[in-house]
Structure 1
């Protein structure tokens, strides 16, 4: 299996499950302590750095989605670490559109990753 397919086979289902579970359980982030936000940011940041370090490919095909996902994770992880007391996203059209986009991205990456098996 190619490295891109392997990363997609892991990242795709992860994004899909995280985005759908967040959409279904939005209320859990309402009163989350800043410590949890910081820890969440650390996990996202490290995961993003691993992806970027192993797969920083800027190509004109589906593999660039992995690279963009890695950089997005780095940015969101850093944001959550620097601003753990910031207001969390509230349920609404923008939040659900973002989660829908992450769900779709996860499904696409999962398809590319697992179809190569």
Structure 2
């Protein structure tokens, strides 16, 4: 199977579930985000997992074609950068995360963006027969 299709089949439904969870349980997700943006082992482990996942994606799928596949590559690189930032410069990463998730409206917008990306990747991964 094409790596792009494989990764879109993993990332797409995961993003859809995350977005739905965020929208249905907004208050709970706001609490979890606030907890995750505090310095400590959870923050460090999140950075480590993000770095490892991002490196796996970028090593398997570093395709800079101007089509839907570039979304997977960009997500991989964002994971690498976010992971490195959380490990090397945690105060900076916390400041950025606090700005991004500053209020309820921004959390809803992120959930909608994640849901749209998830829907697109799910459609690309599962929406057409594989030859």
TM-score category (smaller protein): 0.7 to 0.9
| Alpha-carbon contact 1:52-1:71 (below 8 Å) kept | yes
**TM-score using structure 2 length:** 0.75
1:16-39 CA-partner distances (Å, limit 9, x unpaired): 223443453221232345211111
Q: Which moved more, 1:50-59 or 1:67-76?
A: 67-76
User: Residue 67 of structure 2 aligns to a residue in which SS?
Assistant: coil
Q: Which has the larger radius of gyration?
A: 2
Q: Which is richer in helix?
A: 2
Q: Which moved more, 1:96-105 or 1:81-90?
A: 81-90
Corresponding residue number in structure 1 for 2:11: 11
Q: Which moved more, 1:3-12 or 1:73-82?
A: 73-82
Q: Distance in 1 between matches of 2:78 and 2:54?
A: 7
Corresponding residue number in structure 1 for 2:79: 73
Q: Which has the higher contact order (CA 8 A, sep 6+)?
A: 1
2:104 aligned to 92, 95, 101, which one? 92
1:1-117 matches, cutoff 5 A: 1-23=1-23, 24=25, 25-32=29-36, 33=38, 34-84=40-90, 86-87=94-95, 88=98, 89-117=101-129
C-alpha RMSD over aligned residues: 2.1
**TM-score using structure 1 length:** 0.83
Regions of 4+ moved over 6 Å: none
1:40-95 CA-partner distances (Å, limit 9, x unpaired): 11111111111110000010111111111111111222222234453543433223
